[in-house]
A and B are shown apart, each in its own frame.
Chain A
């Protein structure tokens, strides 16, 4: 059917801004962060004792991804002004003006609500409750309340990223035990050295945006010491699943080797001071390795489970 625009339609079009591309909505979900969320959630699901039907397993992971995407959209809705001030985030859909702020809010609410609803009706009530709390934790407790108020924001924010393996595990078992709590703890403790390594070489951005990031508030020296401290704590925590008998030797050896390298890369970061025009190579190296570390550690966890099974 050939439809010719009437004068009324033309007037409506003229007064309406261009609709956002679907890619901009997709970008709101922070796809790169979501890939880590999906991966750790899947690992929690695969490492849990018991079995889940593949369709339900897929649904559980989809819900975790949708929940994370919804929380990320709400985070960007709330922080659009801050994102506009930082080079790293200025090209996101909201600060660049490609998307309306209220659309981002509605999209975030829709994704969040749908993820919890599907988890509730298709998987397990406890998994739905923990998923709902994780979204609330990231969007409200972290983004709206604590991030702009305390330099411990990254430590607190780490909790939000630590939920996926816990939810994946609960989707299979329907209960919270020591093992999924340890998986939670590993990501929780991994986050500060991961993010502070990044914050050390992009700290100017955070200072200009008024975010009390640790290097800005407590100073570089204190941040470096804390990166090293958390790395040592991560070494101990990553070994706990093996020590309590929740995993086998494959995971134990992998955790020991991977965490030892993490600590080794943290030592130069923790003990040095940056110079004028410093290229911050140790910090960039630690940041890059920290991403590989988490993927490798959780892969080892699943491999260990597959062999034991």
Chain B
């Protein structure tokens, strides 16, 4: 693997991990909100 390919590998992995982190964070917030709404029912 050339240095350029390795840099691209790491860039893609980092971007993907960031997106997964954002999605998981969004779900945590969503579940918190759902719980609050359901408790009010």
By a beta-carbon cutoff of 8 Å, the part of chain A in contact with chain B is 5, 10, 13-14, 16, 18-22, 53, 55-56, 59, 62, 122
Contacts and interface: CB of A to CB of B under 8 A. Distances in A.
A22 B20 CA distance: 9
B18 to A, nearest CB: 8
Given A59-B30, A59-B34, A19 B19 contact: no
The DSSP consensus for interface residues of chain B is helix
Contacts, number: 36
A53 B33 CA distance: 11
A50 to B, nearest CB: 14
Contacts of A59: 30, 34
B9 to A, nearest CB: 6
A55 B37 contact: yes
Contacts of B19: 22
B33 A21 contact: no
A56 B1 contact: no
A19 B12 contact: yes
A22 B15 CA distance: 8
Contacts of B9: 13, 16, 18-19
Nearest to A52: B37
Contacts of B12: 18-21
30 contacts: A10-B1, A10-B6, A13-B1, A13-B6, A13-B9, A16-B9, A18-B5, A18-B8, A18-B9, A18-B12, A19-B9, A19-B12, A19-B13, A19-B16, A20-B12, A20-B16, A21-B12, A21-B16, A22-B15, A22-B16, A22-B19, A53-B37, A55-B30, A55-B34, A55-B37, A56-B37, A59-B30, A62-B30, A122-B34, A122-B38
A19 B17 CA distance: 11
A20 B34 CA distance: 32
